[in-house]
């Protein structure tokens, strides 16, 4: 490619470190799409002939078919996907192939290819996030009134419902979708035509190629066009946050599936056994979702470190972006598929959750609230009184609703038998009617609202491509 300047071929080690075809061949479809748009624009602008453009487009279509069919030969000697396509095009159509690279560089070419790939990946992930939200909302509606323990510090805190817990993740995933949508909007500017770094003297039409490739507009600064990898970093940052949400849920599934919790069971489809312990049913899908989060965060960190010291515009360091993004977004995609499968597969044990919901004196706050409402105590005094009552219940080894009335009255004389109406876990969750609270009627309404909203949405799969 640069034989006019160089008289020798690269050293074997140089060839090994420099070649990227092993991973950037994943960009073949995007590279061919960008080249077709570029060729057509060159012809429309009179920079190359219509005949040459027609030959180029036909040759590119042939190359795409060969790659899809598995009949295309990749070689490290040709370094990257761009060189492979150009070399094969020359074999197919001869001299006309050499006109394709007019008014562009591999710098703007690879930036365009990668943006197209990331955009498509975001669209696929948005569809998967939508599917996971739908699975969660559907399950939440079914279990809107299934009482379970709510935890802080992984200690029993207050009763909630299983549906309410699942809807928390629907909200998290909604924010994840918003982050990906924002990223997609910002990346949707075409670098094609920025050339190496300074633009080109040819009378190209960057707006035409941008429109052809589904971009909103061309990028505004040629230096930024080829130096920017913000779009990859932002997509990986969104992926990392989303993966953290999935990991937190995966951790809960791991805990819930233990005999000690027993809140849910997963079928054979999402568990594995042990090579030595025949009784084991391991939640490996959840564990692997949890682990892939570290991998995705690591990919983001690696690319941040690669980019942090680079002067404008392009440096070969930026070749390291692809393996990171090619690993991070597919890892998230697989995690989303696994999590959706587990949500649809798991069977909650409603009785076991209900039994655990009252442990740890989880209705103590309800008792304190009752003292504020019915006895007129300041909350801090009520908090102190209930603390004494809980201490006495713990000494006796009984729950608050089993503690004799006279024992509670010894802590405060205004406590009456009416207090027992608020001490059950069902009464506790039913009372939490504030906006966003866990009252079953709230949860049912929220689950149905999410179901309606998600049914009306159209996930952004293949949007704008």
- What lies within 8 Å, CB to CB, of 362 at 6+ separation is 149, 150, 156, 157, 158, 159, 425, 428
E runs forming strands in 232-328:
264-265
Helix (H), strand (E) at residue 23: helix 21-24
Residue 375: Cβ-neighbour burial (10 angstroms; 0-12, 13-18, 19+):
middle
Helix (H), strand (E) at residue 97: none
- Please state, in angstroms and rounded to a whole number, the distance separating the CA atoms of residues 398 and 423: 13
Strands 217-218, 189-190: parallel, antiparallel or unpaired by DSSP?
parallel
Half-sphere exposure of 101 (CA within 13 A, CB side): 16
Q: What are the tokens at 94?
A: 């001869």
- Please state, in angstroms and rounded to a whole number, the distance separating the CA atoms of residues 346 and 357: 19
- Residues serving a catalytic function are 153, 274
Nearest to 117 by CA among 356, 325, 428, 292: 325
Phi, psi of 227 (to 5 degrees): -90, -20
Residue with tokens 């924010």: 175
- Please state, in angstroms and rounded to a whole number, the distance separating the CA atoms of residues 315 and 298: 22
């Amino acid at each position: 490619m640069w034989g006019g300047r160089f008289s020798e071929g690269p050293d074997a080690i140089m060839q090994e470190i420099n070649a990227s075809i092993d991973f950037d061949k994943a960009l073949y479809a995007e590279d061919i799409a960008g080249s077709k748009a570029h060729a057509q624009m060159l012809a429309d602008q009179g920079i190359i002939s219509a005949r040459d453009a027609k030959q180029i487009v036909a040759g590119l279509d042939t190359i795409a078919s060969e790659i899809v069919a598995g009949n295309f030969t990749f070689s490290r000697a040709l370094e990257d996907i761009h060189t492979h396509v150009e070399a094969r095009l020359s074999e197919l159509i001869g001299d006309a192939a050499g006109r394709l690279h007019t008014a562009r560089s591999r710098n703007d070419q690879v930036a365009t290819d990668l943006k197209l790939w990331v955009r498509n990946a975001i669209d696929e992930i948005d569809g998967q996030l939508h599917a996971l939200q739908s699975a969660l909302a559907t399950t939440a509606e079914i279990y809107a009134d299934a009482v379970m323990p709510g935890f802080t510090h992984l200690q029993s805190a207050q009763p909630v419902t299983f549906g309410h817990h699942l809807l928390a993740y629907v909200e998290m995933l909604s924010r994840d979708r918003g982050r990906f949508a924002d990223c997609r909007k910002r990346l949707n500017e075409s670098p094609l035509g920025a050339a190496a770094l300074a633009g080109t003297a040819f009378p190209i039409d960057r707006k035409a190629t941008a429109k052809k490739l589904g971009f909103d507009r061309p990028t505004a600064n040629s230096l930024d066009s080829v130096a920017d990898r913000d779009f990859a970093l932002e997509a990986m940052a969104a992926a990392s946050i989303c993966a953290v949400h999935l990991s937190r849920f995966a951790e809960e599934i791991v805990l819930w599936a233990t005999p000690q919790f027993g809140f849910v069971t997963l079928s054979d489809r999402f568990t594995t056994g042990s090579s030595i312990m025949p009784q084991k049913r391991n939640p490996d899908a959840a564990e692997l979702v949890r682990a892939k989060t570290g991998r995705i965060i690591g990919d983001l960190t690696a690319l941040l470190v690669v980019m942090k010291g680079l002067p404008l515009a392009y440096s070969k360091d930026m070749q390291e972006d692809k393996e990171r993004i090619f690993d991070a977004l597919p890892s998230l995609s697989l995690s989303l598929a696994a999590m959706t499968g587990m949500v649809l597969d798991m069977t909650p044990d409603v009785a076991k959750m209900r039994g655990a919901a009252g442990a740890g004196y989880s209705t103590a706050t309800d008792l304190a609230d009752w003292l504020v409402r019915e006895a007129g105590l300041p909350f801090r005094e009520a908090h102190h009184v209930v603390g004494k009552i809980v201490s006495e219940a713990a000494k006796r080894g009984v729950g608050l609703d089993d503690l004799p009335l006279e024992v509670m009255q010894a802590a405060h004389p205004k406590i009456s038998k009416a207090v027992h109406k608020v001490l059950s876990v069902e009464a506790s969750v039913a009372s939490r009617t504030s906006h966003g609270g866990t009252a079953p009627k709230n949860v049912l309404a929220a689950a149905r609202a999410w179901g309606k909203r998600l049914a009306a949405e159209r996930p952004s799969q293949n949007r704008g491509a």
